[in-house]
Amino acid sequence: MLPFSYAARNLFRSKARLLQTIGGSAMVVLLVMAAVAINQGMKRVLSASGSPHNVILLGAGSEESVQRSEVPEGAAGIAGASIPGIAETLGVRAVSGEIQFMSYLGLPDGGRAEATFRGVTPSALLVHSQVRILEGDFPRAGQLMLGRLAWRTLGVAEDTLKVGSEVTVAGQALTVSGFFAAPGTVLESEVWMSLSDLRVLAQRESLSCVVIRLDDPADFSEADLFAKQRLDLELVALRESDYYGKLSRFFGPMRAMIWVTAGLIAAGALFGGINTLYAAFASRVREMGTLQAIGFGRGTLLWSLVQESTLACLTGALLASAVAMLLFDGRTVPFSIGAFTVEIGPGVALAGIATGLFLGLLGALPPAIRCLKPPLPVALRM
C-alpha cells in the first residue's frame, strides 16, 4: 500500500484545485446540515407543542384549524362540569376557553406586523403548564403579553418591545404587560391578551376552542364521549398532540421541498467536483503507470486517489461544521404559525460528516477508474 502521506502531499500539487474541492464540499455539507437542522427544528417544535394530557374541543368541521372553529360561549363551563378526570389545582379545574385570531399588531415605531393572538383567562396557565412568565404580569383588560420569540415572527429587533410599551390592535391602544416562555413550543411566538378584549376586537361572540387538561391521558374517551353526546354544542374532541401532529403532516411538503432544493444543489456541486477531478487525474495517467511498473497494483492506486479526494472533502465538512455552529446554532426561524430554534446537535454534525465522506468517495471513483483504465504500455507513453 502507498503511505497515507503520499495522498496528503498530492493534495498540495495544485492549491487552486484543493481550494476548489474544499470550498465546494463545504458548501454542500453546510447546505445539508442546514436542511437537517431546519427539518428537525420544525418537527421538534410541532411535536413538543401538543401535550397528551390536553384535549381540544373544536367546532365540528373545523378540525384542521382552530382559528376557523366556533364553539359556544357556555361550552367551557358545561365541559368542565360534565367531563370526569379533569386536572385540578387548588380546587380550580383546568379548563380554558380561548379565542385564536390572526391580525396586525401596531408597533411602537409606527410599523405593523401580522401576529397570532390568543385570548385567554388565568385558567390558561393551568392548561398550558409549560408556560412561565419571565417578566411582568399576566395580561388584564387593556394589556397583552408576548411570547419570548414573538419579536422574531413580528420581524422586529428583540429590544423593540418592552414591558410598558404601547401597541395597537384594530386601532385600540394596549400596553405590554409582560413576556412568557414555553420552551420548544409554538406558544412562544404568540401574543396573549384578555379573552374579553380579544372578543371585542375580533368582533365574535363565540370561542375558538376549549382546552382541557386531564389527569390521565387515557380519560380522553370521556371527553370524546361528551363531544359526541352533546349534539347541541356541535363539538369535536381532539388530543392536542394529535392536532399538532396533523399540522406537522401539513408542513411535510415544505420540509420535502427543503430536501429537494438541498439535493439539487448538492448534485450540481457533486458533478462539478467530478469534472474537476477528471481534469486533475487525467494529467497523472503516466504517474499511475510508473507506479504500476514498479509493483503497485491498480487497487492500491485507486485507494490512494480515493484517499486524496476524501481527505479534501472531509476538510470541507469540518470547515462547514464550524461555520454552521457560528452562523446557525441558536438561530430562530419563523414560519406561518410560530418560530423554532435551530440546533446544530450531534445528529446534524454526523449528517455533515457523512455527506463529506460520501462526496469524497463518490466524487473520486469515476475519474480514478478512468485514470487507471489504460493498459500499462499506453499509460507509460501518455
The mean per-residue pLDDT over the stretch 227-251 comes to 85
pLDDT at 380: 67
User: Are both 36 and 58 inside the same structural domain?
Assistant: no
Identify the domain boundary among 194, 215, 236.
215
Q: Is 242 among the domain residues?
A: no
What are the backbone dihedrals phi and psi of residue 141, each rounded to the nearest 5 degrees, phi first?
Answer: -60, 135
For 63, the enclosing helix (H) or strand (E) is none
The answer to whether residue 226 sits within a structural domain is no
Confidence of residue 312 (pLDDT cuts 50, 70, 90): confident
User: Which pLDDT band holds residue 379 (cuts at 50, 70, 90)?
Assistant: low
Report pLDDT digits (tens) over 348-362. Answer: 889 889 888 888 887
Query: What torsion, rounded to 10 degrees, do the Cα atoms 343, 320, 266, 336 define?
Result: 30
State residue 95's pLDDT score.
Answer: 93
Q: How far is CA 371 from the centre of its chain?
A: 44
Is 78 found in the same domain as 197?
yes
CA atoms within 13 A on the CB side of 180: 26
Residue 225 domain flag: no
241: its cell numbers: 398532540
| 243 lies in some domain | no
Start-to-end Cα distance in the chain: 24
Question: H-helix or E-strand containing 152?
Answer: helix 150-154
Are residue 44 and residue 59 in the same domain, yes or no? no
229 occurs within a structural domain: no
- Of 167, 187, 215, the residue at which a domain comes to its end is 215
Per-residue confidence band for 55, with pLDDT thresholds at 50, 70 and 90: very high
At 382, the pLDDT band (50, 70, 90 cuts) reads low
In a domain? residue 43: yes
Same domain, yes or no: 168 and 270: no
Q: In this structure, are 195 and 70 located in the same domain?
A: yes
Q: Based on the domain organization, do 331 and 371 belong to the same domain? A: yes
Q: Is residue 16 located within the same domain as residue 85? A: no
Please indicate, yes or no, whether residues 68 and 181 belong to a single structural domain of this protein. yes
Q: Is position 170 within any domain? A: yes
| pLDDT at residue 125 is higher than 90 | yes
Where a domain ends, among 157, 192, 215? Answer: 215
Whether residue 187 is contained in a domain is answered as yes
Task: Give me the torsion for CA of 153, 159, 164, 165, rounded to 10°.
Answer: -60
Domain that holds residue 16: 4-48+251-381
Shared domain for 22 and 60, answered yes or no, is no
Query: Do 36 and 178 belong together in one domain?
Result: no
Confidence of residue 121 (pLDDT cuts 50, 70, 90): very high
Judge if 175 and 210 occupy the same domain: yes
Provide, rounded to the nearest whole percent, the portion of the chain with pLDDT above 70.
96
The partner residues of 236 in beta bridges, in order of sequence, read 58
83 and 200 together in one domain: yes
The predicted model scores a pTM of 0.73
Number of domains comprising the chain: 2
∠ at Cα 237 (233, 239), nearest 5°? 160
